[in-house]
Amino acid sequence: RIFMGPEESMQIQSNLGSDIAMAFDECVENPATYEYAKASCERTLRWLARCKAEHDRLNALPDTVNPRQMLFGINQGATFPELRIWHMKETAKIDCEGYAIGGLAVGEPTQVMYDIIDAVEPYMPAEKPRYLMGVGTPSNIIEGVARGVDFFDCVMPSRNGRHGKLFTWEGTVNILNEKYATDPRPISESCGCPACRRFSRAYIRHLFKADEVLALRLAVLHNLYFYNELAARIRRALDEGTFADFRARYSGNLEKRA
Ligand SMILES: [Zn+2]
């Protein structure tokens, strides 16, 4: 057993020297009662003040690994919009380099997650990055961007890849399906990743069936390539003012079967 509080969390992250340190927060179980979620938000707020003080102290030390490490505060409040908003307002009073929305994508319906982002976003400082933690599918990312989110992180491309679920611009592919057993085409004709440039669906499926670890590597490689391309295309669409068209074309379709 170890004890970890706000100070210990900041010390560990400072020693890691990451670009961004995340505040020490409580991510409550879903569903949570209002009373528990409120007490938890107050605790997370008290912890953020302690994180900020310790983070400032650590960044100022002469031998700190990364003296320019940033601290991001995290919004909580379960699925209660008014609690989320109150917590975001209070969190924004503590000067962080960015702010995250945590405690979503923990089993609540997707529309509830979108509604919470819509509720909280107006209270997130506009000039600082916004990070939606632990999200999500390609559609979730497009919908998050549409609601003003800048950052995401998720196990989805790697975990799904390890289970043979592959993302493509034509929709999802379950490479374990029998119909791919002799399919000579790449995972996606429109993908430039090393797995698609060199290997067929049939071969990658065979590797999965043979429990060959190369299957997982190729599948994850492809999915990470897809997510990188997704982010690049979202940025380009935003720059070119065509994001609404991009969203309409892809948000619903990327999660359908190819
Ligand atoms: Zn590929």
pLDDT at 134: 96
Tally the C-alpha atoms within 13 A of residue 173's C-alpha that lie toward its C-beta: 25
Q: How many angstroms is it from 251 CA to the middle of ligand 1?
A: 20
φ, ψ of residue 135 to 5 degrees: the values are: -125, 135
Please say which residue of 154, 174, 204 terminates a domain. Answer: 154
Is 256 part of a structural domain of the chain?
no
Claim to verify: residue 115 and residue 139 sit in the same structural domain? yes
Claim to verify: residue 131 and residue 81 sit in the same structural domain? yes
Per-residue model confidence as pLDDT tens digits over 153-188:
999 999 999 999 999 999 999 999 999 999 999 999
Please say which residue of 117, 136, 154 terminates a domain. Answer: 154
pLDDT at 71: 98
Q: How many angstroms is it from 205 CA to the middle of ligand 1?
A: 14
Contact at 8 Å (CB) between 88 and 122?
no
Is 45 part of a structural domain of the chain?
yes
pLDDT at 91: 98
pLDDT at 110: 97
Q: How many angstroms is it from 31 CA to the middle of ligand 1?
A: 37
Claim to verify: residue 81 and residue 187 sit in the same structural domain? no
Counting the structural domains of the chain, the total is: 2
CATH code, 25:
3.20.20.105
Per-residue model confidence as pLDDT tens digits over 227-244:
999 999 999 999 999 999
Q: How many angstroms is it from 194 CA to the middle of ligand 1?
A: 7
Is 200 part of a structural domain of the chain?
yes
Q: How many angstroms is it from 227 CA to the middle of ligand 1?
A: 11
β-strand pairing of 130-132 with 98-101: parallel
Please say which residue of 134, 154, 174 terminates a domain. Answer: 154
Q: How many angstroms is it from 177 CA to the middle of ligand 1?
A: 17
For the chain, give the mean pLDDT.
97
Q: What is the DSSP string of 187-200?
A: S-TT--SHHHHH--
pLDDT at 158: 98
Claim to verify: residue 99 and residue 126 sit in the same structural domain? yes
Distance of CA 153 to the CA centre of its chain: 2
The pair of structure tokens assigned to 187 is: 């995972």
Per-residue model confidence as pLDDT tens digits over 55-87:
999 999 999 999 999 999 999 999 999 999 999
Q: How many angstroms is it from 203 CA to the middle of ligand 1?
A: 14
pLDDT at 36: 98
φ, ψ of residue 78 to 5 degrees: the values are: 50, -135
Q: How many angstroms is it from 245 CA to the middle of ligand 1?
A: 24
Domain hosting 213: range is 157-250
Q: How many angstroms is it from 192 CA to the middle of ligand 1?
A: 6
Claim to verify: residue 38 and residue 127 sit in the same structural domain? yes
Average pLDDT over residues 116-136: 97
Claim to verify: residue 148 and residue 163 sit in the same structural domain? no
**Backbone region of residue 246 per phi and psi (left: phi > 0; alpha: psi in -120 to 50; beta: other values):** alpha
